[in-house]
């Protein structure tokens, strides 16, 4: 249960980073979006890891 809450919080943070990064111009916005996408990819990896 605690793991699911932590994953949800990480997902929300990642989505905020992607949305705020899209609103910013320049390298800082791109950096925020990349960090957000990497967090989402990491969560997908951890989810799929138990099925392989």
Element (H, E) at 6: helix 2-23
- Judge whether residue 8 has pLDDT over 90: yes
Domain borders along the chain are 2-49
pLDDT in tens, 17-48: 999 999 998 999 999 999 999 999 999 999 99
Instruction: State the pLDDT confidence band at 52, using cuts at 50, 70 and 90.
Output: confident
């Amino acid at each position: 249960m605690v793991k699911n809450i932590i994953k949800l919080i990480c997902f929300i943070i990642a989505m905020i980073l992607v949305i705020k990064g899209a609103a910013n111009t320049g390298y800082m916005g791109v950096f925020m979006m990349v960090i957000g996408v990497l967090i989402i990819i990491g969560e997908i990896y951890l989810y799929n890891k138990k099925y392989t």
